[in-house]
Amino acid sequence: MSFLSVFGYNMISTTFSLITAVGVGLFVLKILSLDRGKRRWGGIAFTAVWIVTVAGVASLFYKAGLMQNFLMIMLLEYVQFIGNAFCIRLLFRERFRLCWGIVVFEGIVAEFSVMMVFVLTSDRPYALSIQKERMMYLFTNYMLGPAAILVILFLLYQLKVGDVYRQWIEHRDIWNWGMLCMSAYPMLVYGMMALFTYKGMSRNISLNISILILFMTLIVFHYKGREKWQQKEVAAQLLIVQQQEAYIRTLEGMQEEMRRFRHDYKNMISGMYLTAKEGEFTEVMDYIQEMTDDFDSQIGGQIRQMSQLSNVCMMEIKGLLLAKIAQMQKEGTACELEVMRPFCGTGCRTTDLCRCLGILIDNAMDEVRGREDARVYIMVSCQEGYTTFRVKNRLYHDIDFHRIWQQGYSTRGADRGIGLASYRKILEGYENVLPATAVQDGYFVQEFKVQERSAG
């Protein structure tokens, strides 16, 4: 085959691999969003140059006879993985580790599909110097192989395997060991094939064994990930129990207050009746206002708080808020929670969201702790394509905004000042999160807005 012919086929193969990876990210894993992929002309230009470069290098390797070497095939595959991940990163502005997860998922499906097709269509390697076998190879590699990839991806989509995989790669504990394991599959597959070929085994036997090893590795990864998710489910169940206990404690407190009001009701009415009978209407109005304020502070505030908390549908955030509210109640700090609309989720990872919101609330609690009329304001707002988290508290110390983000800086003594530095480091990993810090009318206001993927 001429260099141009090989280059043309490699262009088709490289382009198909990248398009398939994008399709996997959009429809199977649902990590990418077309809204975030608009007008990325720099990414488009890089992608075009990348496809041409990889196709050219692969063609040169083939003509030089290097593609017979399993080590070179493996190296070229990793280079293609890295390049495809960077292309997706530039096109969709997504985090690189998620882009890497996409191309690894697509690569495993493609490797498995193509290997199965070759095992089923031939019992030996094709002799590309013979035109008939070369045509059969091209038909298998560029027609049957892609068709098998699309069929398997469709089956995985129907089985919702992508949803589980997406949840795995969005958590760093899974990423640290699981993605490392999955990313090693080219070394595993081609290493086994090289070993079996060296031992004199036929191509089909080595392919079958490699497929079996790959399949067993994925099963181990699946059950390891399932174990992690079972632990998470147990934690979620414990969280639900804690929430139920908090609701029960709140209801018991409200019931006790109602009993007290019922017990004092006749006395209050009798006193108000005698005061009204003597014509002291101003005192009657003050008495009613005092009674209403007492009821509102003891019971009405709890009812409003639980009503706002019911708008938080995300269990992890609801659990965080319940824990912080309970802690503030023990410390004598009032908490005003406002959740304008039902909040069910956002574009931030759950762990990062809990950490950031927890840091802001902890800082506000530390600032007002022990103060008269200590109060913390928390707001969650979902509207116009943004989800806003705001924490506000009265400010009792001078703040140096030039040093506030430095590790170790704090207005409350030594061995503190770690939170905001960690908070900023977490948010730096998101391009769709807009943090803001301000001092308004004596209040310290911290908020961050998450631009959701559906936003224009």
User: What's the pLDDT score for residue 60?
Assistant: 93
- Give the model's pLDDT for residue 317: 87
Angle (CA) 80-81-85 rounded to 5° is 115
Q: Which residue shows structure tokens 């632990």? A: 231
Is pLDDT above 60 for 366? yes
Check: CB of residue 407 under 8 Å from CB of residue 417.
yes
Query: In whole angstroms, what is the distance from residue 269 CA to residue 187 CA?
Result: 84
Angle at 128 between CA 124 and CA 132, to 5 degrees: 90
pLDDT tens-digit series, residues 380-393: 999 888 999 999 99
**Is the pLDDT reported for residue 293 higher than 70?**
no
Residue 416 confidence (pLDDT): 45
Radius of gyration, alpha carbons of the chain = 31
Main-chain dihedrals φ then ψ at residue 409, nearest 5 degrees:
-75, 135
Distance CA 87, CA 93 (A): 10
Measured distance CA(50)–CA(14) in Å, rounded:
9
Mean pLDDT highest for which of 12-26, 256-270, 273-287, 411-425? 12-26
Q: Higher-confidence residue: 206 or 147? A: 147
Q: How far apart are CA 450 and CA 435, in angstroms?
A: 9
Q: Give the pLDDT confidence score for residue 211 in this predicted structure.
A: 66
pLDDT at 413 over 60: no
How large is the average pLDDT for residues 139-149? 91
Task: Report, as an integer, the average pLDDT of 285-297.
Answer: 64
For residue 218, give every residue at least 6 positions away whose Cβ sits within 8 Å of its Cβ, in sequence order, or none. 108, 182
Identity at 145, one-letter amino acid code: G
Write the pLDDT tens digit of every residue in 420-455.
888 888 888 787 899 998 989 889 999 999 988 654
DSSP-derived secondary structure letter, 339: E
pLDDT of 332 > 80? The answer is yes
* First vs last C-alpha separation in the chain: 48
What is the per-residue pLDDT across 29-65, written as a single tens digit (0 to 9) for each?
A: 888 877 654 557 888 899 999 999 999 999 999 889 8
pLDDT greater than 50 at residue 167: yes
Report, as an integer, the average pLDDT of 135-153. Answer: 91
Please state, rounded to an integer, the average pLDDT across all residues of the chain. Answer: 79
Which pairs from 172-176 meet CB under 8 Å and 24+ separation? 172/351, 173/228, 174/225, 174/228, 175/97, 175/101
Structure tokens at 150: 């699309």
- Tally Cβ neighbours within 10 Å of residue 65: 9
In this prediction, residues 180-207 reach a mean pLDDT of: 73
Q: Taking phi first (over 0 means left), then psi (-120 to 50 degrees means alpha), and beta for anything else, what does residue 210 get?
A: alpha
Share of the chain above pLDDT 90, in %: 26
d(CA 209, CA 114): 15
| Top-ranked range on mean pLDDT: pick from 40-54, 209-223, 283-297 | 40-54
Residue 417 in tokens: 């000042």
Q: In what order do the strands lie in the sheet with 334-339?
A: 334-339, 375-383, 386-394, 443-451, 433-440
Compute the residue count for the chain: 456
Highest averaged pLDDT of the listed ranges 69-73, 126-130, 348-352, 432-436 = 432-436
Query: Residue 218: what pLDDT?
Result: 62
φ, ψ dihedrals at 296, nearest 5°:
-65, -40
- Spatial distance between the Cα atoms of 350 and 353, rounded to a whole number of angstroms: 5
Q: How confident is the model at residue 415 (pLDDT cuts 50, 70, 90)?
A: very low
Query: Which pLDDT score is estimated for 414?
Result: 46
Taking CB atoms within 8 Å and a gap of at least 24, the contacts of 163-166 are: 163/30, 164/225, 164/229, 165/29, 165/101, 165/105, 166/29, 166/30, 166/31
Number of neighbours of residue 136 by Cβ within 10 angstroms: 17
The predicted model gives 166-187 an average pLDDT of: 71
The region of weakest confidence among 99-108, 355-364, 417-426, 429-438 is 417-426
Q: Are 447 and 436 in contact (CB under 8 A)?
A: yes
What are the respective helix, strand and coil percentages of the chain, to the nearest 5?
70, 10, 20
pLDDT for the residue numbered 284? 60
Q: Assess contact for 181 and 217: CB atoms under 8 A.
A: yes
Q: How many CB atoms sit inside 10 A of residue 72's CB?
A: 16
Domains, the chain, ranges and CATH?
3-183 (no CATH), 311-456 (3.30.565.10)
Contact 426, 355 (CB under 8 A): yes
Angle at 374 between CA 370 and CA 394, to 5 degrees: 110
Count the Cβ atoms, other than its own, within 10 Å of residue 316. 17
pLDDT band for position 109 (cuts 50, 70, 90) = confident
- The contacts of residue 117 (CB under 8 Å, 6+ apart) are 140, 144, 145, 148
Mutual angle of helices 203-277 and 185-198, in 10-degree steps:
160
Beta bridge partners of 446: 391, 437
